[in-house]
Amino acid sequence: MCGIVGYIGTKKACPILINGLLRLEYRGYDSAGISTIEDGYVSLMKNKGRVMNLYDLEGIDDLNGSIGIAHTRWATHGKPCKENSHPHMDNSNTFSVVHNGIIENYNELRDFLTKEGYSFRSQTDTEVIPNLIHYYINQDTQKDTMAFLRAVQKTCNAMQGSFAIEVISSLYPDNMIVVRKDSPLVIGKGKREFYICSDIPAILSFTRDFYLLNDYEYVLLSRDEAKFYDKELAPITKELKNIEWDASSADKDGFEDYMLKEIFEQPKSIRETIGAKLKSNEAIAFEDLSLSKDYLTSLHKIYIIACGTAMHAGLGTKALFEKFCHIPTEVDIASEFRYRDPLIDDKTLCIYISQSGETADTIAAVKLAKSKGAKTLAVSNVIGSSITREADYCIYTHAGPEIAVASTKAYTAQLVLLSLLALYMAEVLQENSNSEIENIKQELLLLPTKIEEILKNTKPVQDFAKKIYKESDMFFLGRGVDYAVALEGSLKLKEISYIHSEAYAAGELKHGPIALIENGVTVISMITNPDLAAKTISNIQEVITRGAKTMVVTNQELENKGFDFIYTIPKTHPMLSPVLSVVPLQLLSYYISKEKGLDVDKPRNLAKSVTVE
């Protein structure tokens, strides 16, 4: 989705802003633009297309201002074109604004402003913002910086929806105002300078000290200080937080693409996610989480709620909660959960998974559960993200910044963290014989080394990708947790290779989808649970008979019954197998996408963080 960058300091703003935008490219966008404060006026440079194209705009090299705002736009209101790109200015070209989010009542605001004599140059919702600020400042008898702040505050109070905005003005050439509601925005602090961004990796190379903003917190920035105000404009103090990620973790580090780098980072991210929570012969302990036996005993139900890959991580671990905690566990899609009036109360624990912590539907689902009295627990990869501030409890995956749109290392870190959570809860409940739990705990510690083994053997997957990359339909099959992995493998393939694919529980095949199997269709199956192996093998035979090409990912010693490609992964506890079996599927999608010459990291139509509904 859209990205925001801002700078106020002593250096030339333009290159810093463009550098920040380039680092946000992975989020997906269709146009880009910047505004800086120059001598006596606010510049505006924007266009449809790539960030680098900004350098082709006439006059961009002459921008010397040291205060500026910048934006990458992912179109919601109005097609991608220069006029609809951000920044947007008011009619008098005094205020310039970039905005992430959606203003739901923008039609009313536009009508109001039109009656007041304002006109509009774009079809966007955003353009009402600079004009409203201009309108309110004209109503104010004062013209100091507090008047500027009041005008922004009145504008925000008039807007419904979500927003993160940066405002600069030629009337206030030494200031910038920023504010957010339901859309991410953080402020990085340097020496006599501040960096503003919607996404931390954009400015990690400049600073690791950040102020994290809550909804309706206003910041009046000058080169020397950041003054914070609450919704009523009463001054507040904010704590500076140090973010552990280093700048190099947001670089490609010699890999051709972020996705490949992130696939190879999985052993590390799993080790770091396990961290000190799990030690041999000790009960699992979470540093920041303590759930009492009384509370866990009172639970009638667990919901795991998320979107996309994060939701698949829920499906891959649901069985652990049921088996070891003996609590019925349901996995739900956030965009469905939030609109279907689910049966939840204080005896329900709602667990939310979100890599970015900014997914609009998932955050709305947290708010819904809280309003019904349930406790909420967020699993996120981004410290201080919106979901971590909304939920009652929060635990973190330590995957480092995930830049590629297709999620890989965040998914396996989520699987591992949720497994740890399920076992932790089981140990608090003391429900089960400990021997199986102990076995899973030992196996968890071995996962990073086992992924390393898989990553030493990528060539066969690459060779198979070369054989099938021209196909237009593929199927993924599995039973139990293998079905959860089938869903994830299929999503990965769709996202980055644009090949149509479907995932089915292997037993469902005969109930319809088998009608689509014919010569040349590829069927990819996972077989990791010895108890279910024979059943899945029978299903594969049924597709081979009908002409399908087959790939089997397995940890069993299988006799090759006509499979085109068997890829063997190390053995682990059956309930942890998704962490390993997904890796060849990630690699397969990656290599197919490369064979097709596609942009692996920035697939069409997709955004890394889906901050609107």
Q: Which of 137, 203, 310, 481 binds ligand M6R (CB under 6 A)?
A: 310
By beta-carbon proximity to ligand M6R, the closer residue of 45 and 313 is 313
Residues 571, 572, 578, 582, Cα dihedral to 10°:
-40
Task: Specify the pairing of strand 186-189 against strand 176-181.
Answer: unpaired
Task: Specify the pairing of strand 522-527 against strand 473-478.
Answer: parallel
* Shortest distance (Å) from residue 342 CB to ligand M6R: 19
Task: Give the span between the Cα atoms of 537 and 553, in whole angstroms.
Answer: 12
By beta-carbon proximity to ligand M6R, the closer residue of 36 and 355 is 355
* Shortest distance (Å) from residue 395 CB to ligand M6R: 14
Task: Give the span between the Cα atoms of 45 and 57, in whole angstroms.
Answer: 7
Please name which of 96, 30, 92, 31 lies closest in space to residue 63, comparing C-alpha atoms: 96
Q: Does the footprint of ligand M6R cover residue 360 (CB under 6 A)?
A: no
* Shortest distance (Å) from residue 261 CB to ligand M6R: 15
Task: Give the span between the Cα atoms of 363 and 378, in whole angstroms.
Answer: 10
Task: Give the span between the Cα atoms of 613 and 610, in whole angstroms.
Answer: 7
Task: Give the span between the Cα atoms of 234 and 24, in whole angstroms.
Answer: 33
By beta-carbon proximity to ligand M6R, the closer residue of 81 and 364 is 364
Measured CA distances, 536 to 315, 464, 533, 539, 560 (Å): 19, 21, 5, 5, 14
DSSP one-letter code for 213: P
Q: Does the footprint of ligand M6R cover residue 308 (CB under 6 A)?
A: yes
Q: Does the footprint of ligand M6R cover residue 578 (CB under 6 A)?
A: no
Please name which of 558, 568, 565, 518 lies closest in space to residue 538, comparing C-alpha atoms: 558
Q: Does the footprint of ligand M6R cover residue 406 (CB under 6 A)?
A: yes
Let me know the angle formed at the C-alpha of 41 by 38 and 42, rounded to the nearest 5 degrees. 75
Q: Which of 127, 166, 495, 601 binds ligand M6R (CB under 6 A)?
A: 495
Q: Does the footprint of ligand M6R cover residue 407 (CB under 6 A)?
A: yes
How many helices (H) and strands (E) would you count in the chain? Answer: 17, 26
- Sort residue 326 into left (φ over 0), alpha (ψ -120 to 50) or beta: left
Q: Check if the beta carbon of residue 429 is closer than 8 Å to that of residue 297.
A: yes
Taking CB under 6 A as the binding criterion, the range among 52-60, 149-157, 336-344, 400-408 that sits at the site for ligand M6R is: 400-408
* Shortest distance (Å) from residue 164 CB to ligand M6R: 16
Taking CB under 6 A as the binding criterion, the range among 115-123, 353-361, 432-440, 470-478 that sits at the site for ligand M6R is: 353-361
Q: Which of 359, 376, 536, 555 binds ligand M6R (CB under 6 A)?
A: 359
Q: Which of 355, 397, 554, 572 binds ligand M6R (CB under 6 A)?
A: 355
Measured CA distances, 519 to 523, 537, 547 (Å): 11, 19, 4
Under rule CB under 6 A, how many of the chain's residues touch ligand M6R? Answer: 15
- What residue type is assigned to position 108 of the chain? E
* Shortest distance (Å) from residue 307 CB to ligand M6R: 4
Residues near 39 by beta carbon (within 8 Å), at least 6 away in sequence: none
- Residues classed as catalytic: 2, 608
Task: Give the per-residue contact string, 591-610, with ligand M6R (x = CB under 6 A; - = no).
Answer: ------------------xx
By beta-carbon proximity to ligand M6R, the closer residue of 296 and 307 is 307
Please name which of 1, 388, 6 lies closest in space to residue 197, comparing C-alpha atoms: 6
Taking CB under 6 A as the binding criterion, the range among 150-158, 266-274, 401-409, 513-521 that sits at the site for ligand M6R is: 401-409
Q: Which of 66, 126, 183, 354 binds ligand M6R (CB under 6 A)?
A: 354
Q: Which of 356, 388, 577, 586 binds ligand M6R (CB under 6 A)?
A: 356
The two three-digit tokens of residue 77, written as one number: 């209101």
Judge if the upstream peptide bond of residue 87 is cis by omega within 30 degrees of 0: yes
Residue number closest to ligand M6R, CB atom: 308
By beta-carbon proximity to ligand M6R, the closer residue of 1 and 14 is 1
By beta-carbon proximity to ligand M6R, the closer residue of 85 and 359 is 359
Burial 518-545 (b: 16+ CB within 10 A, else e): eeebbbbbbbbbeebbeebbebbeebbe
Q: Check if the beta carbon of residue 60 is closer than 8 Å to that of residue 45.
A: yes
* Shortest distance (Å) from residue 48 CB to ligand M6R: 24
* Shortest distance (Å) from residue 245 CB to ligand M6R: 16
Taking CB under 6 A as the binding criterion, the range among 161-169, 259-267, 352-360, 547-555 that sits at the site for ligand M6R is: 352-360
DSSP H or E run through 494? helix 481-497
* Shortest distance (Å) from residue 121 CB to ligand M6R: 33
Q: Does the footprint of ligand M6R cover residue 391 (CB under 6 A)?
A: no
Q: Which of 405, 440, 454, 468 binds ligand M6R (CB under 6 A)?
A: 405
By beta-carbon proximity to ligand M6R, the closer residue of 198 and 362 is 362
Q: Does the footprint of ligand M6R cover residue 586 (CB under 6 A)?
A: no
Task: Give the span between the Cα atoms of 582 and 451, in whole angstroms.
Answer: 10
Q: Which of 273, 309, 386, 419 binds ligand M6R (CB under 6 A)?
A: 309
* Shortest distance (Å) from residue 546 CB to ligand M6R: 30
Q: Does the footprint of ligand M6R cover residue 317 (CB under 6 A)?
A: no
Write down the residue that tokens 């910041």 correspond to: 219
The residue ranges that bind ligand M6R (CB under 6 A) are: 307-310, 354-356, 359, 362, 405-407, 495, 609-610
